């Protein structure tokens, strides 16, 4: 078993696509953060002082009579809730100013790209061997198909998660250097938030990668795996969700967004929430889809997909 694990890890590492994709994404991150740093102008002390005063006033108002009378579910007290929802100092100094407060939002914005890359990696790590016939050679050496399928799925998860960790580490480092040069670095706890967001994005990428892995196994090609995922995102996540809003609770994108952003999602907002569907701070209201519920939904989808893929892979002829 250990030999199979090592073999699969070496096989994944040797894929040119994995290395090329990582280098390309890292290069894009460096270029974009360099441009953002050059366009950023450090605020003056008076601007920072005004922003601190604004934050103190907003925080006091949230904790006052006009704010919540009791902490929402998930918060130990009202102050914790207010500190989570009120824009922190440095966040209102200007749209072009780099601040460490903006790193978390930037990381969340990269989640869709991470998911798409995970689909490519997951589909490739299974579809390439099936389409070229090398899977048959592997099964001669290791005929236990259940073990092969599950170990390769685990390798896909490890490779995708490591890929995301590496990319997000480069993003955080480049952004921190840019903030240090021409931005606002006063953001206590930014590293912990960055680590947490990175982990959540990594989990979502693993979900997408494993679904693409199963899709490639069923279609026997890399393109088929990516095509199935694209069809699901366009036909179900896009068209069907737009015409049947009630299914949003069960869609991949909705649950992934709720989990990555740590917000509870509702399809039945209170009257004061204009615009229909929307996200509310974690804790939310009774009946909302919490981030933990969203994660459990995604994991259930992955487990069901792996079960179907395992049954088909173990019974189908592989040549």
Question: What are the pLDDT digits (tens) for 142-162?
Answer: 677 788 888 889 999 999 999
- Cβ 209 vs Cβ 160: under 8 Å: yes
Residue 88 tokens read as: 């922190």
Average pLDDT, the chain: 79
pLDDT of amino acid 318 = 61
3-state helix, strand, coil in the chain (%, to 5): 75, 5, 25
Distance CA 29, CA 48 (A): 28
pTM: 0.79
Main-chain dihedrals φ then ψ at residue 274, nearest 5 degrees = -85, 150
Which residues share a beta bridge with 220? none
Residue for token pair 């693409």: 212
User: 29-33, 148-152, 160-164, 244-248: which has the minimum mean pLDDT?
Assistant: 244-248
288/291 Cα distance (integer angstroms): 10
Interatomic CA distance for residues 125 and 140, integer angstroms: 19
Contacts of residue 155, defined as CB under 8 A and 6 or more positions apart, other chains included, come to 5, 8, 9, 11, 12, 125
Of 61-75, 158-172, 208-222, minimum mean pLDDT range: 61-75
- The first and second tokens of residue 17, run together, are 């696509």
Alpha-carbon torsion, ordered 126, 130, 135, 136, to 10 deg: 160
What is the model's pLDDT at position 119?
92
Query: Residue 266 in contact with residue 277, Cβ under 8 Å?
Result: yes
Sign of the four-CA dihedral 139, 218, 129, 167: negative
């Amino acid at each position: 078993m250990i030999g199979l694990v090592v073999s699969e890890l070496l096989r994944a590492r040797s894929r040119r696509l994995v290395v090329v994709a990582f280098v390309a994404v890292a290069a894009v991150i460096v270029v974009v953060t360099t441009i953002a740093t050059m366009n950023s102008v450090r605020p003056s002390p008076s601007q920072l002082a005004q922003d601190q005063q604004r934050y103190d006033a907003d925080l006091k108002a949230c904790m006052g009579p006009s704010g919540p009378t009791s902490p929402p579910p998930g918060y130990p007290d009202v102050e914790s809730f207010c500190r989570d929802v009120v824009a922190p100092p440095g966040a209102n100094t200007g749209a072009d100013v780099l601040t460490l407060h903006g790193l978390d939002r930037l990381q969340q914005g990269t989640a869709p790209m991470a998911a798409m890359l995970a689909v490519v990696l997951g589909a490739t790590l299974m579809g390439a061997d099936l389409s070229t016939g090398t899977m048959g050679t592997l099964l001669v050496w290791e005929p236990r198909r259940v073990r092969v399928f599950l170990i390769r799925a685990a390798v896909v998860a490890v490779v995708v998660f490591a890929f995301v960790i590496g990319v997000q580490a480069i993003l955080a480092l480049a952004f921190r250097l840019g903030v240090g040069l021409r931005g606002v670095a006063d953001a206590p706890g930014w590293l912990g938030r960055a680590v947490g967001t990175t982990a959540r994005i990594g989990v979502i990428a693993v979900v997408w990668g494993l679904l693409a892995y199963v899709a490639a196994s069923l279609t026997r090609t890399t393109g088929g795996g990516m095509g199935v995922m694209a069809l699901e995102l366009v036909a179900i996540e896009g068209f069907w969700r737009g015409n049947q809003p009630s299914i949003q609770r069960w869609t991949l994108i909705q649950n992934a967004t709720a989990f990555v952003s740590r917000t509870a999602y509702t399809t039945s907002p209170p009257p004061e929430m204009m615009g229909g569907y929307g996200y509310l701070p974690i804790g939310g209201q009774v009946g909302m889809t919490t981030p933990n519920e969203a994660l459990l939904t995604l994991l259930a989808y992955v487990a069901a997909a792996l079960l179907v893929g395992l049954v088909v892979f173990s019974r189908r002829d592989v040549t």
